[in-house]
Amino acid sequence: MAKEAIIRVEQVAFSYQMNQEQVIPVLHDVSLEVYSGEYLAIIGHNGSGKSTLSKHLNGILTPQQGDVWVNGINTREKARIYEIRSQVGMVFQHPDNQIVATIVEDDVAFGLENLGVPAAEMNERVNFALEAVGMSEFRHRPPHHLSGGQKQRVAIAGILAMKPQCLVLDEATSMLDSYGRQEILSVVRKLHQEGMTIVTVTHHMSEVAEADRVLVMEGGQIVMEGTPREIFAQQERLHELHLDVPDASRIAGLVHAKNPAFSSAIIHNQEIIDEVKRLHLRRAEASGT
């Protein structure tokens, strides 16, 4: 069955115009599709254009050349921007900058109020969204009493209340401690399992290992594409691009260099344990013990 694209980015170019003399070219002829139900990770070193690209996915930025289509709507159609943003929602790096109300449930309802959703439906959607991120019990709390991870969950709930098809996370875990990151990752994992399309921009390679597909950016272009396993197998190329691999891939690469029987195609911690067990078993069988 042909894959259905929710978002199409076609030959996009974009520069930031600082003043009359200074222009910073960032994206150069970038094309990609985001398919319904996939988990896509976008990686690249600082300044490679990931955030600028992600801001094109729901019309926060519009291309200077090329087009971006969200379910067939061109993001240049400013009259349809709410429609676009209710289909593709974005979560940013700083939880504090995304929270506008003084009570959690009002914050989650904020976007719906702007859309003029009737009160009964609004209540239903806020309940659903808070439940989905595990924040129902905090609904009457002021957001500034919450931890970073909890605030990000409220920000995600505000987007889920709009019933989007696609959630774009732009370094949404980078300000959080490891517990906060795990909170967000488990919410995102669950949403994806339930069918939501996820696009994540991240520097955390262990998060990338969870994706279905990875795009690597360099100098405002997409220079690599593949599954996490395909991408992380190319450690030298990633090194040239100043990118890391998950700890599990690095360890497997080191062991593989000493013992080629140990697989280097490893991206998850659990696979290291499985590989050690497999080799032990093989050795035991070979020695007849």
Ligand X SMILES: Nc1ncnc2c1ncn2[C@@H]1O[C@H](COP(=O)(O)OP(=O)(O)OP(=O)(O)O)[C@@H](O)[C@H]1O
Sites of contact with ligand X (CB under 6 A): 16, 24, 26, 44, 46-52
Residue 181 and residue 173 in contact, taking contact as beta carbons nearer than 8 Å: yes
- CB of residue 15 to ligand X, shortest distance in Å: 9
| The total number of residues written for the chain in this structure | 289
**CB-nearer residue toward ligand X: 46 or 178:** 46
**DSSP state, residue 57:** T
Residue 93 and residue 155 in contact, taking contact as beta carbons nearer than 8 Å: no
Distance set, CA 190 to CA 118, 159, 196, 198 (Å): 28, 15, 9, 11
- CB of residue 174 to ligand X, shortest distance in Å: 9
- CB of residue 88 to ligand X, shortest distance in Å: 17
**CB-nearer residue toward ligand X: 150 or 202:** 202
Residue 252 and residue 272 in contact, taking contact as beta carbons nearer than 8 Å: yes
**CB-nearer residue toward ligand X: 57 or 161:** 57
Closest C-alpha to 29, from 44, 12, 15? 12
- CB of residue 117 to ligand X, shortest distance in Å: 32
Distance CA 224, CA 175 (A): 27
Distance CA 116, CA 204 (A): 38
**Tell me, what amino acid is at 110?**
F
- CB of residue 171 to ligand X, shortest distance in Å: 6
Secondary structure (DSSP) of 73-137: EETT-GGGHHHHHHHEEEE-S-GGGG--SSSHHHHHHHHHHHHT--HHHHHHHHHHHHHHTT-GG
- CB of residue 75 to ligand X, shortest distance in Å: 17
**CB-nearer residue toward ligand X: 49 or 149:** 49
**CB-nearer residue toward ligand X: 37 or 219:** 219
**CB-nearer residue toward ligand X: 112 or 214:** 214
- CB of residue 179 to ligand X, shortest distance in Å: 23
**CB-nearer residue toward ligand X: 50 or 85:** 50
How many other C-beta atoms lie within 10 A of the C-beta of residue 179? 10
